[in-house]
Amino acid sequence: MKTISVCEAKRHFSRILEEVSEGQSFLVTRYGRPVGILSPVDAKPKMDRKKAIEHFRTIQKRGALKGLSVKEMIEEGRR
Question: 26-64 pLDDT, tens per residue?
Answer: 999 999 999 999 998 875 666 678 888 888 778 777 766
Is the distance from CB of 27 to CB of 50 less than 8 angstroms?
no
d(CA 24, CA 38): 9
Residue 66 clears pLDDT 90, i.e. is over it: no
Domain boundaries, the chain: 2-38, 49-78
* Top-tier CATH class for 2-38: alpha beta
CA distance 39 to 2: 10
Alpha-carbon gap, residue 50 to 36, rounded angstroms = 36
Cβ-proximal residues to 37 (8 Å cutoff; 6+ apart), any chain = 1, 25, 26, 27, 28
Rounded to two decimals, what is the model's pTM?
0.51
- What pLDDT is recorded for position 43? 54
